[in-house]
Structure formats: C-alpha cells, structure tokens
Amino acid sequence: MNNILIYDCETLKGMFLIVIYDIQTKEWFTFEISERKCEIDKFVNFTEEYKDYYFCGYNCLRFDSQVIEYVLRNYQFWVEKSCIEICQLVWQKAQDVIDDSNYEIFPDYKESELSLKQLDLFTIWHFSNINRRTSLKAIEFAINFESIEEMPYHHSKEFFTEKEYEETKSYCKNDVSATYAL
C-alpha cells in the first residue's frame, strides 16, 4: 500500500493551510488560502489527481477531513469571495466541528461520504477511546520525537507577517512529520 499521503491542516481565521507528504516520492505539497495566496483551485486539482490515494492524518476523521470535505463541496460557490472571506468560512466551519465534537455530536460527513479516502491514526491506534484519548503532542513526547512544537499562533489570528506565515507552515510540516513517525 504505497499510495499514502500524510497530511495535516491548520485553520486560522486569516489562513487555511494544508501540508501533505507523499511517502513514496518523498515530496511535500503545501496549499494556502490567506490574504497573500488563494490556492483553493490548486488544492482541488491535487485532490482530483490523488483521489485513489489514502490521506493519513491524526484525528482526521473527526476534524481535518470534515473541514476539507466542506471545502471540496462548497468551493465552487465561493468564486466571488475574497481569499480572506474564504478563510473565514473555513475557520468558522472548523470552529463548528470543534464545538460539535465537544458535545459528542457526530460529524457532518460520514467516512463513507468523504471525497478522500482516510486513514486516521487516532482511530486506528484506539486513541479515540475515552480511556486512551491523547493528543499528537503527547504522542510526540512518548515516541521521543525530535521536535515537539506548539501552534505558534491562536486560531483567531487574522493577519500575518511573512515570518508568521512561514512559522505556521513549519509547525504544520512538523505535525505531518510526527504523524508519519507514528
């Protein structure tokens, strides 16, 4: 099973970021929607090209895939919207997904309805069990991962400097690397 992509997304009010690592080719892909870039079409084209791959993440069934599915199902209605307006729509969806999960409400999209095939290490390793529930950061610590990082900016941040964009990308790439290590 070589057709696996490791991924993570960050949903900030002023930036939606997806970082993907192809374990076979060792290529990195980054897609950003922000004030400075709007790579939504590039991301949609990527998902069409890699539709037969498995997208592997940590807690991706309950979060990342839900946000991505929302983007894939709605992007064609956003043609008239600015990049920041799109970011804020995606950010609000992410907040809704988080709020719903806090109340044990099932995600909007069932796994069988997702556009992208998912491998969720959170579920596979049974970390979704209330008695074993743990964060990716705790796992990074447990596996003695080389770089344990915290998200550098609060999810409500709207405006970024070039340095802050790059730090957020670096953080997301580190989480993808940790997921791959797991």
* pLDDT tens, residue by residue, 128-173: 877 778 888 888 888 888 888 888 999 999 999 999 999 999 999 9
pLDDT category at 73 given cuts 50, 70, 90 is very high
Q: pLDDT by residue (tens digit) across 26-50? A: 999 999 999 999 999 999 999 999 9
The residues that bridge with 77 in the sheet, in sequence order, are none
Q: Give the relative orientation of helices 65-74 and 40-49 as an angle to the nearest 10 degrees.
A: 110
Q: pLDDT by residue (tens digit) across 84-97? A: 999 999 999 999 99
Distance separating alpha carbons of residues 77 and 80, to the nearest angstrom: 8
Round the average pLDDT of the chain to a whole number and report it.
Answer: 94
What is the rounded average pLDDT of the residues 13-38? 97
Q: Is the pLDDT at 118 greater than 90, yes or no?
A: yes
Among the listed residues 135, 110, 137, 116, the one whose alpha carbon sits nearest the alpha carbon of residue 125: 135
Name residues whose C-beta falls within 8 Å of residue 177's C-beta, 6 or more positions apart in sequence: 21, 147
pLDDT at 65: 98
Other CB atoms within 10 Å distance of the CB of residue 84: 17
pLDDT at 1: 56
Other CB atoms within 10 Å distance of the CB of residue 73: 13
Residue-wise burial string across 144-172, b where 16 or more C-beta atoms lie within 10 A, e elsewhere: ebeeebeeebeeeeeebeeebbebbbebb
pLDDT at 47: 98
Among the listed residues 122, 112, 129, the one whose alpha carbon sits nearest the alpha carbon of residue 63: 122
